[in-house]
């Protein structure tokens, strides 16, 4: 599903963010990306989202080579991914409902599809009764769940989250990762960048550690604890 082949990224100012990285992530996997600050984790995600292009190497996503993808095709690539940010990126002059609906409307969804889909997704993240609230009236954990709902609403193949728990307290953080695990059960690939070692330890998942622009560790989960994944695959 995501394949990096000898990928290097050097920014224009000369910073070498990634250095000859090879990573393979399969459909339905749940992967934590960890590593020190400045290691290149966000750069890895930006290359997946095609916000940046690699200086060297090749990137395949959903079986297509996206390394030098034409800019007109990029939006359609992004529709296969749901993106979650550390700072939520919610629009405060819109209600929770409209924040989620926004993601559907701007890719041309019909009003009836919006009406059907948004309440369902808000139910899935446990925010059905907050549909008419403003983001600023919610707790950090709730806001991140709105942002997760927005990422999910267009039925992506993968969720890409850059430090989704960076701005919320540990208890809420656990709930967010737990929610992502639930979503993963439906077959959605999940990639989570995080600093929090404790959080990672609580979940038995594949962990890729990046250090200094390179993969320095790639640990697969213990097989006996992972029997739930992919068991009820289907669309959310």
Partner 1 sequence: MSISGFGYLIKEGLKNVWNNRMMSIASIGILVSCLLLTGAAALMSVNVQQTVKAVGESNVFTVYLKQNVTELQAVQVGENLKNIDNISSCKFLSRDEAIKQYKKDLPEEIYQELIGQGNPLPNAFKISMADLSKYSDTVTKIKKVSGVDQISNKSDLAATLTKLNNLVSTAGIWIIIILGLISLFIISNTIRMTMYSRRFEISIMKSVGATNLFVRIPFIVEGMVIGLISGLISTLGLMFVYNILMSSISNLIHYDAIPFSQMSTGVLVAFIISGIAIGALGGIISVGKYLKKEGNEILGW
Ligand X SMILES: Nc1ncnc2c1ncn2[C@@H]1O[C@H](COP(=O)(O)OP(=O)(O)OP(=O)(O)O)[C@@H](O)[C@H]1O
By CB under 8 A, name the binding residues for partner 1. Answer: 46, 49, 51-52, 71-72, 75-79, 81, 83, 89, 91, 102-103, 105-111, 150, 154
- Residue 7: name its binding partner from Mg ion, partner 1, ligand X, none (Cβ under 5 to 8 Å by kind): none
Nearer to ligand X, 56 or 133 (CB): 56
Indicate which of Mg ion, ligand X, partner 1, none lies near residue 77 (CB less than 5 to 8 Å, by partner kind). partner 1
Whichever of 16 and 58 has its CB closer to ligand X, that residue is 16
In this chain, which of 13, 112, 231, 232 binds ligand X, going by CB under 6 A?
13
The site partner of 205 among ligand X, Mg ion, partner 1, none (C-beta below 5 to 8 Å per kind) is: none
**Between 110 and 137, whose beta carbon lies closer to partner 1?**
110
**39 is a site residue for ligand X (CB under 6 A):** yes
Q: Residue 128 touches which of Mg ion, partner 1, ligand X, none (CB < 5 to 8 A by kind)?
A: none
First CA to last CA distance, the chain: 18
Candidates 28, 31, 32, 35: give the one binding ligand X (CB under 6 A): 35
Residue 199 contact, options Mg ion, partner 1, ligand X, none, Cβ 5-8 Å cut-off depending on partner type? none
Q: Report DSSP letters for the chain, one per residue.
A: -EEEEEEEEE-TTS-EEEEEEEEEE-TT-EEEEE--TTSSHHHHHHHHHTSS--SEEEEEETTEE-TT--TTTHHHHHTTEEEE-TT----TTS-HHHHHHHHHHTTT--HHHHHHHHHHHHHHTT-GGGTTS-GGGS-HHHHHHHHHHHHHTT--SEEEEESTTTTS-HHHHHHHHHHHHHHHHTT-EEEEE---HHHHHHS--EEEEEETTEEEEEEPPPGGG-TTTTTT----
Give least dist CB 41 to Mg ion, A. Answer: 5
Interface positions, 106-165, toward ligand X (CB under 6 A): none
Give contact residues for ligand X (rule: CB under 6 A). 11, 13, 15, 17, 35, 37-43
């Amino acid at each position: 599903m995501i394949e990096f082949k000898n990928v290097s990224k050097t920014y224009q100012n000369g910073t070498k963010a990634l250095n000859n990285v090879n990573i393979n992530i399969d459909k339905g996997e749940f992967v934590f990306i960890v590593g020190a600050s400045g290691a290149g984790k966000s750069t890895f995600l930006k290359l997946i989202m095609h916000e940046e292009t690699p200086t060297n190497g090749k990137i395949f996503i959903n079986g297509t080579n996206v390394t030098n993808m034409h800019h007109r095709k990029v939006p359609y690539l992004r529709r296969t991914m749901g993106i979650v940010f550390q700072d939520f990126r919610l629009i405060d002059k819109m209600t929770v409902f409209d924040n989620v609906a926004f993601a559907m409307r701007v890719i041309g969804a019909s009003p009836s599809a919006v009406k059907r889909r948004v309440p369902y997704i808000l139910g899935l993240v446990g925010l059905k009764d907050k549909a008419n609230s403003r983001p600023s009236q919610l707790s950090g954990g709730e806001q991140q769940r709105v942002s997760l709902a927005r990422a999910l609403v267009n039925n992506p193949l993968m969720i890409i989250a850059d430090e989704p728990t960076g701005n919320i307290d540990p208890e809420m953080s656990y709930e967010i990762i737990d929610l992502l695990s639930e979503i993963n059960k439906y077959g959605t690939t999940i990639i989570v960048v995080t600093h929090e070692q404790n959080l990672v330890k609580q979940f038995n998942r594949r962990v890729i550690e990046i250090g200094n622009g390179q993969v320095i560790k790639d640990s697969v989960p213990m097989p006996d604890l992972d029997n739930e994944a992919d068991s009820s695959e289907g669309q959310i």
